Amino acid sequence: MKGLSLRVLLPLLLWPLAEIALFVMAGDLLGFWLTLLWLAVAMVIGGTLIRTSAGYGRPADAESALRAVAGVLLILPGFLSDFFALILLLPPVRRLISGAMLKRILAGQGGVFTFRGAPQGFGGFAQGGHPGAQRGPHPADDIIDAEATEIRPDAPPLPGQSPRSGWHRQIKV
């Protein structure tokens, strides 16, 4: 769990417990069948939201992507996730979140869209660069990651390979 902070771990542990507690309370309040009906309707609405907001799997803008996230939250079984999905479906909330996302990306804090050797920023194209531009030698260019396999001269040839192929020829050193 190296690098995983309590700020991330605690909500991940408490979320399922909160969902279970809400299931029990909803089951007491609504009854078993209405609780199941709520979950089934939420899943259908979530699937419809995903299909309508993310055409061909690629959202057109940040708000439609957030509608797709709301759809995913509705598909997940649970009342807490449904609550957050319904909050996310409110247009002012979506505009607020998409505006904050856009500001982070434009400020270069998104950590996305970077290329090796390019300055960080929107698209990695700050200062007129482009991803294929030559920026001089990089230390990483000198490293070759490879695997070696020993081929013994006395090994039998592979199927479809003659015994005199270059792979079986003994090299004198």
Kindly report, residue by residue over 46-69, the tens digit of the pLDDT.
Answer: 999 988 886 655 556 788 888 999
Q: Under a CB-based contact definition with an 8 Å cutoff, are residues 153 and 168 in contact?
A: yes
Q: Under a CB-based contact definition with an 8 Å cutoff, are residues 23 and 79 in contact?
A: yes
Among residues 172, 139, 131, the alpha carbon closest in space to that of 153 is found at 172
Scanning the structure block, which residue is given the tokens 């247009």?
91
pTM: 0.56
Scanning the structure block, which residue is given the tokens 């909160």?
18
Domain ranges (residues) in the chain: 12-111
Among residues 44, 10, 11, 38, the alpha carbon closest in space to that of 23 is found at 38
pLDDT band at residue 129 using 50, 70 and 90 as cut-offs = very low
pLDDT band at residue 113 using 50, 70 and 90 as cut-offs = very low
At 43, list the tokens. 């899943």
Quote the DSSP letter at residue 114: -
Whole-number Å distance between alpha carbons of 137 and 130: 16
What is the sign of the dihedral through the CA atoms of 157, 160, 164 and 169? negative
pLDDT of residue 151: 66
At 39, list the tokens. 């979950």
pLDDT of residue 109: 52
- The per-residue pLDDT of the chain, averaged, comes to 75
Percent of all residues in the chain with a pLDDT value above 70, rounded to a whole number: 60
Please write the tens of the pLDDT for every residue from 154-170. 766 666 666 565 555 56
Please write the tens of the pLDDT for every residue from 66-93. 899 999 999 999 999 999 999 999 999 9
pLDDT of residue 86: 94
